[in-house]
């Protein structure tokens, strides 16, 4: 909230300067009242744009999560249809591998008679964090599952959500959800860059202008004046 507090401090400083009337008449154009009001407006606008961009990003992230939360159930239903269709063991194995990648579950190992029960020395046990569970990876695994069932003539269902057209629509929406999150993240990042420029980065930024205004008031009214006592309480946090 540092940016918001700095903008509020600058707004208070502008109010003080406005209250001085004609006695506040700096020579530098960017310190004059009209310029200060413009800087105040730009700062508020930049903060609003960051807030709006962050809200849009959060909305897209939430929608994507909701969409992908349903994917494991959908993949499992596809697997059940495939198993009920009488497809070959090899086809089912291919599909099941993609379902495991989508759901994040580990396939059950088939025990070998006479095999050692302890892992070999130096063997690394895979943990859930090592699985490909990113949204992009899950969408890709679902695309592979769709490709697998689309080449199986025995995969037939009257359920619109489970037929090939329905699965293709779901895949398109998953990809679109990922794309919208990416675009929203870029927009949010760009809004923050613009805000930082308006507040801190430019030669006539809000932060630099505010510091200059305080120095000017000290110069014209004196360090012991009531006017400077007012603005001295206006504190700007240094930009990181």
pLDDT digit string, tens, across residues 70-93: 999 999 999 999 999 989 999 999
Alpha-carbon distance 58 to 61, whole Å? 5
Measured between its terminal Cα atoms, the distance across the chain in Å is 13
Tokens (6 digits) for 195: 């805000």
Of the candidates 67, 44, 29, the one whose C-alpha atom is nearest the C-alpha of residue 178 is 67
**Which pLDDT does position 113 carry in this prediction?**
44
Contact, 167 vs 78, CB < 8 A? yes
Alpha-carbon distance 35 to 50, whole Å? 23
Alpha-carbon distance 142 to 75, whole Å? 8
**Which pLDDT does position 164 carry in this prediction?**
96
Tokens (6 digits) for 226: 């009531």
Sequence-separated (6 or more) residues with CB below 8 Å from residue 217: 16, 17, 24, 227, 228, 231
Percentage of the chain surpassing pLDDT 90?
82
C-alpha torsion sign, points 93, 95, 98, 104:
negative
pTM of the model: 0.81
Contact, 146 vs 164, CB < 8 A? yes
**Which pLDDT does position 106 carry in this prediction?**
64
Low-confidence ranges of the chain (pLDDT < 70): 1, 106-132, 239-240
**Which pLDDT does position 203 carry in this prediction?**
82
Of the candidates 212, 183, 234, the one whose C-alpha atom is nearest the C-alpha of residue 53 is 183
Alpha-carbon distance 179 to 233, whole Å? 47
């Amino acid at each position: 909230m540092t940016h918001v507090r700095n903008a509020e401090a600058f707004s208070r400083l502008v109010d003080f300067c406005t209250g001085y009337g004609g006695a506040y008449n700096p020579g530098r154009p960017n310190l004059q009242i009209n310029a200060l009001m413009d800087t105040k407006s730009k700062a508020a606008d930049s903060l609003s744009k960051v807030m709006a961009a962050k809200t849009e990003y959060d909305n897209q992230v939430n929608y994507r999560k909701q969409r992908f939360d349903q994917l494991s159930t959908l993949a499992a239903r596809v697997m059940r249809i495939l198993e009920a269709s009488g497809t070959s063991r090899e086809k089912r194995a291919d599909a099941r591998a993609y379902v495991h990648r989508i759901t994040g579950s580990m396939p059950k190992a088939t025990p070998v008679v006479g095999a050692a029960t302890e892992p070999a020395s130096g063997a690394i046990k895979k943990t859930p964090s090592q699985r490909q569970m990113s949204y992009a990876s899950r969408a890709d695994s679902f695309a592979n599952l769709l490709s697998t069932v689309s080449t199986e003539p025995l995969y037939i269902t009257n359920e619109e959500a489970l037929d090939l057209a329905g699965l293709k629509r779901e895949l398109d929406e998953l990809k679109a959800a990922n794309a919208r999150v990416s675009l929203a993240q870029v927009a949010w990042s760009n809004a923050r860059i613009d805000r930082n420029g308006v507040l801190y980065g430019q030669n006539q930024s809000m932060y630099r202008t505010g510091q200059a205004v305080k120095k000017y008031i000290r110069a014209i009214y004196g360090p012991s004046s009531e006017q400077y006592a007012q603005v001295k309480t206006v504190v700007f946090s240094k930009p990181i």
